Structure 1
Amino acid sequence: MSESSQSRPVKVTVTGAAGNIAYSLLWRIASGDVFGKDVPVELALLEIPAATRAAEGVAMELGDSAFPLLCGITVTDSADTAFDGANAAFLVGAKPRGKGMERADLLAENGRIFGPQGKAIGEHAASDIKVVVVGNPANTNALIAAHHAQDVPAERFTALMRLDHNRALSQLAQKLDCQVGDLSRVAVWGNHSATQFPDLTFAEVAGSPVDVDQSWYTDEFIPRVAKRGAEIIDVRGSSSAASAASAAVDHMRDWVQGSDGWATAAVVSDGSYGVDEGLIAGFPTIARDGRYEIVQGLELSDFQRQRIEASVAELRAEREAVGDLLG
């Protein structure tokens, strides 16, 4: 950021602010892990009316943490107020899937959340707004929000697949007995769901191609990364919150400050690799100059194309399920 922009606080809106993910995320934002150690931040915490008191308690704790960079906190149940002048937004709050609920019903319920939030962003956010949707089903929730954000470029809306990327790095590092930092050129394609495709085709360890057993790759690695969230719920008894918050930090930090290598982000497709233009899907990306750019020029095998297509087909079906919200 320029010196002039550093003198002004970055206004950051976090929805679902009383929830577990936000409880980890807000402290990282306030400490400077996202926008830089010399950039002041102002937080807007958005919650539903029934949870605003809990969010006020979160705000009290943030204040008690005495962060030098934190120069203001607003707690509200008004989307218009929360997104007014926002430079960045983490859309964390979403309706969870209830017992027996069909995915189409879940998408419709969340559409009633993310449509109005997108509208508020379009009407009130700053011109440089950057949005990452964390609440699931994240890809299609981001699509809905982007559709309702009048005059905001669709590329300003992304969905969190950095958690899938980080899970893939962790599993591969354990397999190779190396450090996560030794790995590069890992990608996760498609939807943040069980159909996603964690791809090791181009992966490198310490600059050399990764060589793993094919059966481990297809029978263990891919399904374990894709279903890691369910595994954590089974073991921990609740969903992954801290790791999701950490991934959201990684995603926005790279978007704002840039990155050196590949990372996965769910971005608006430009038609690359056969992914329908306009869908928000996971790609290998590089962040530079305040933009996420899809890595171009990769030669895909039939195996890769089949896996990608299976996940893209699910994204198409989700888009169709919420067609009345995109009309």
Structure 2
Amino acid sequence: MKASIVGATGYGGLELIRIIKNHPSLEIASLHTSSQVGSVLGEENHHLLHLHEKLEQIDPELIAKKADIVFLATPSGVSNKLVPALVELGIKVIDLSGDLRLKDPQLYEKWYHHQPAEARILDKSVYGLSEWNREQIAKASLIANPGCYPTATLLGLAPLFTEGWGLGQDVIVDAKSGISGAGKTPSQATHFSEINENFKIYKVHKHQHIPEIEQQLGIWSQDLGPVSFTTHLVPMTRGIMATMYVKLKKETSTESLLELYKSIYENHYFVRIQPLDTFPSTKQVFGSNFCDIGIAYDERTNKVTIASVIDNLMKGAAGQAVQNANIMMGIEETAGLVNIPLYP
């Protein structure tokens, strides 16, 4: 199977290259960029000095002639202009941006401040939360790859709400991300002297992933209220930790919650549930497609605390995109992604 990557020089695109180069069934057909057309991949990205592919212009017809599937690792507001042409040409598409995630175009315009995709494209796209939408993904030709924060959050909350254990009111998500989540383009916020030895809250009540989280939780829960979602930048390169607080409909125990989570994720290779009284750290999923989840019940408040960690560039972006590609193309779901996390 041949794959093209649009936005090949961003962090997400570079991670896709790393995965696909080690994939048993996918190979790179072409790499595309809007900023470095004609240059050789390894010239600007020295960790890829051994690779000599040339970066090409973004041309849907050219891509469709070369590839079976295309990954769009572009900023928001770009892919929604490319997708219609690619869909018309019959190529499978996985969009890593936020352009196709929200089914309500008005919500997209409000939170992303861009013109939304066409309604027919939004209707055609499938939300690619791999562990929960596998059947839809297998039949799809257009995937909206979930955001990094929503992936960690939704995988952590899903068992509570799909099984009716959690109250949809007053759900709180306290999330932290490494600096690579801000993308490759430098800014004052990502300058070394700004982020080093610092811990910053940002986009308070304004993060564009809020409606994405609420959209999926609303499918699972009839009584969902607004979700309190707060994000922070941590002075590390990779990783997300989402710590969630949910009130339950009835009293339970940590042991019962662990049994619930283990039974639901039993056949999902990339979700690992921590043992009793053990909680995950971002380091233990570094460079991998795993999502590790720890759980604790507070009998005083009848609330559960869930800690969910992922590598934002892997399970939160390129790794989940390849997982979705595997499902779409009828390849073993774990192909190209079975690697031990980097440690230490």
User: Common fold, TM-score beyond 0.5?
Assistant: no
Give the shorter-chain TM-score range.
Answer: 0.3 to 0.5
Give the TM-score, by structure 2 length.
0.41
TM-score, normalised with respect to structure 1: 0.43
Specify which structure has the higher proportion of helix: 1
